[in-house]
Structure 1
Amino acid sequence: MDQDNFIRLVTKKFTKQLSDEERKELAGLLEDNPVYQEKYEIFKAYFSINHTGQSGKEEAFLRIREKITNREQQLDLKPRYPFKKFYLRAMAAAIVILCITFTYLHFNIPDQNTVPLEARTLRSSKKNIILSDGTRVMLNADSKLTFPKEFNNSTREVSLTGEAFFDVHHDASHPFIIHTSKMDLKVLGTAFNLKAYPDDKFSETTLLRGKVQITLKDRPADVITLKPSEKLIIRFTEAINPDISHKGKKMTTLPEITYLQHQDTAVVETSWMYHRVCFKHKTFGEISNELERAYDVDFVFKNEKIRNQVFSGAFDQENIREVLDALRLIEPFSYKIQKNQIIIK
């Protein structure tokens, strides 16, 4: 087990993937075991700049393998010291194993900078994130943002499930692109709110500053450009898929652009950032999704008429009972709370 660990650590050392903790662990092994120290020095020699130069990984490996072969041939010419010959052969075999491991890691393990990172939030929680380019993201409840550790390509690309407010760092030569399940957004430097929960029947993009280009994935030829104070609502309507004999459904999109009112003192679409719950002309069924995420509750409707009732309202994020009591003033209904389940009657 120690031998395998030594090989792993040495390989990571020469592929520049060694963490500070692993570096200390390797130093301890080398200090405590002179055999490991000898193997390390030999391996270091084979991977030195004098042997591999600036050539590619494959060429470097071929050169190392050639040197190992030459070393073994030299050993065959010196039969007078069988013990030393055996020891050196074992050392050469260890180097072969290390080289194979080195090559495997180089060709099969991706660069750590390309491994995507994830930021998640649970229901009734929010999170602030600063990306490597300085872009600021505030992630709403029950959401996920996937992004690289560093932006090293010609574009800066992230993926969002849920809702987030983006304040994108301006960089005209590296457009910022956000992928969602139904659409892609391309921006240069701007501030906007994007809502794309998979269980909602709509997605919303609200632009506060800058410029955004939106492409619908099922209609790639249509590119919609938003200007400040414009809001794009994409409503999803279910359509029967004839190819699977009515047993399944597919989603089609109908884009609808609405405009924010400049005189609004509190923009509904970003109210969640300030711990407020706001909605305009939405059914109780649609509102319940937002309340579930904001208060970590689950709604069960026993009354379909109330589910389809349209409400408008704005609340500081009080407790859920106060919100329900306020809604009952608009349209009477009864409810029952059992732990985190709310039954609407």
Structure 2
Amino acid sequence: MIEDRFTELLAKKLTGEISPEESQEFNSLLISNEGYRKEYESLKTYWQQDEEPQNNIAGIFEDIKRRTDIHEREEQEKVKIYQLKKQNNWLRGVAATAAVLLLSFGAYKLLNKNTSATAYAALKQLHTPSRITSHLILADGTQVTLNSESSIKYPASFDGKTREVYLNGEAYFDVKHDAQHPFIVHTSKFNIRVLGTAFDVKSYDNDAVKEATLIRGSIRVTFPNQPNTAVMLKPTDKLLMQNDQYQLTKQTYYNQPGGDIVETAWLSNKLSFKNQPFDQLANTLSRRFGIAIKFDNNNLKNSTFTGDYDREDLNQVLLSLQTVKPFHYRIKGNSVVIY
């Protein structure tokens, strides 16, 4: 499709990786389509706002790959569930079984027009319960790391013009480059279209804010409720979506640029957050420790916290948070009440 080719050339143009022949082809597309010209001018202005080179991007990505055990494998598809171990960074909490998260009817409507309901129903599904992450290699070689309480639907093989998956929750994607077959991640609020890149997507149904953070390459984000809107992200960009409104910001460093990235800390089994409202943090804690959290004092929900934890258990985390903002809590079984 011409639009797919334009997207590919646009990404190469913005990142300075376009060849002379491709540049000539790109210019021809601009001349023939006013919409393409407007989109390019708009994105070029944004792309050039931050001209300081991101010298540490490659190092950051290699570090993420190393920490997530991403490497070449002979099998086209392999799933490995990382169980909790006493000596690693995962915390042993009270065992809980999370129900499989089914994609909503709204997500179903995001299906490509050429995809039938029968084909969608035939998709494979991987669900990761609380306190556990999983690693999946798709048929094209794309690698996916799935966070706790997340679900992904994907085909056994990619046979059409596009490679499409459906996500509910959080996942880190390292997409195998294929210029002829764009890779599309569908979520309940936005769709991400790429050719080959690495990014983190967080789109839980019970989180008010959905987000996408780009580590390397480029991604194009579109919105089902805003069909005429498209956003191109460059490395370190982060898209936030709340109440059908989006904004662009930057990925969050816990201490300083070049340090730990909050958005991908979970890949190394860390619990990291910065200026996060208590009600959003409660959802994260719930997924990490396999417990339910309830607020008896709603005034506490908007209290913000910053923290970075490794081996601490739930009680230790809550005790630490109490030093920042006074509150009380009680733990009973698999439930926590904040008051």
TM-score after normalising by structure 1 = 0.61
CA distance in 2, matches of 1:256, 1:326: 31
- Aligned counterpart for 1:340 among listed residues 327, 330, 334: 334
Structure 1 pair 264–304 and aligned structure 2 pair: CA distance change class (3 A): farther
Alignment size in residue pairs: 219
Query: 1:267: which partner in 2?
Result: 261
Query: 1:297: which partner in 2?
Result: 291
* Alignment of structure 1 residues 19-30 onto 2, 5 Å: none
Q: Write out per-residue CA displacement over residues 111-135 of structure 1, whole angstroms, 9 at most, x where no aligned residue.
A: 8x99210000111111100000000
Query: 2:314: which partner in 1?
Result: 320
CA distance in 2, matches of 1:208, 1:129: 19
CA distance in 2, matches of 1:184, 1:339: 38
Query: 2:279: which partner in 1?
Result: 285
CA distance in 1, matches of 2:194, 2:310: 32
Amino acid at match of 1:314: D
CA contact (8 A) 1:194 1:205 kept: yes
Q: Which structure shows the bigger proportion of residues in helix conformation?
A: 1
Q: Which runs of 4+ in 1 moved over 3 A?
A: none
Structure 1 pair 266–318 and aligned structure 2 pair: CA distance change class (3 A): same
Q: Write out per-residue CA displacement over residues 297-334 of structure 1, whole angstroms, 9 at most, x where no aligned residue.
A: 11111112222211111111421001101100101111
Q: Matched residue of 1:291: which SS?
A: helix
* Alignment of structure 1 residues 193-272 onto 2, 5 Å: 193-236=200-243, 253-260=244-251, 263-272=257-266
Cα drift, residue 176 of structure 1: 0.2
Q: Matched residue of 1:330: which SS?
A: coil
CA distance in 1, matches of 2:192, 2:287: 24
1:180 aligns with 2:187: yes
Amino acid at match of 2:293: F
Amino acid at match of 1:198: D
CA distance in 1, matches of 2:123, 2:206: 24
CA distance in 2, matches of 1:122, 1:171: 31
Q: Which runs of 5+ in 1 are unaligned?
A: 1-109, 237-252
Q: Matched residue of 1:169: which SS?
A: coil
Cα drift, residue 259 of structure 1: 1.1
> RMSD value over aligned CA atoms?
1.6
* Alignment of structure 1 residues 114-153 onto 2, 5 Å: 115-153=122-160
1:171 aligns with 2:178: yes
Q: Matched residue of 2:126: which SS?
A: strand
Q: Matched residue of 2:152: which SS?
A: strand
CA contact (8 A) 1:204 1:232 kept: yes
Query: 1:158: which partner in 2?
Result: 165
Cα drift, residue 264 of structure 1: 3.7
Q: Matched residue of 1:308: which SS?
A: coil
Cα drift, residue 156 of structure 1: 0.3
Quick one: percent identity of the two aligned structures? 37
- Aligned counterpart for 2:324 among listed residues 311, 323, 330: 330
CA contact (8 A) 1:277 1:317 kept: no
Structure 1 pair 114–301 and aligned structure 2 pair: CA distance change class (3 A): closer
CA distance in 1, matches of 2:165, 2:122: 12
Q: Write out per-residue CA displacement over residues 10-36 of structure 1, whole angstroms, 9 at most, x where no aligned residue.
A: xxxxxxxxxxxxxxxxxxxxxxxxxxx
Amino acid at match of 1:235: Q
Larger Rg: 1
CA distance in 2, matches of 1:317, 1:202: 27
- Aligned counterpart for 1:189 among listed residues 196, 202, 205: 196
Q: Write out per-residue CA displacement over residues 240-298 of structure 1, whole angstroms, 9 at most, x where no aligned residue.
A: xxxxxxxxxxxxx1111111358241110011111111111111111000100111011
Q: Matched residue of 1:173: which SS?
A: coil
Amino acid at match of 2:284: E
TM-score after normalising by structure 2 = 0.63
CA contact (8 A) 1:283 1:309 kept: yes
CA distance in 2, matches of 1:190, 1:286: 28
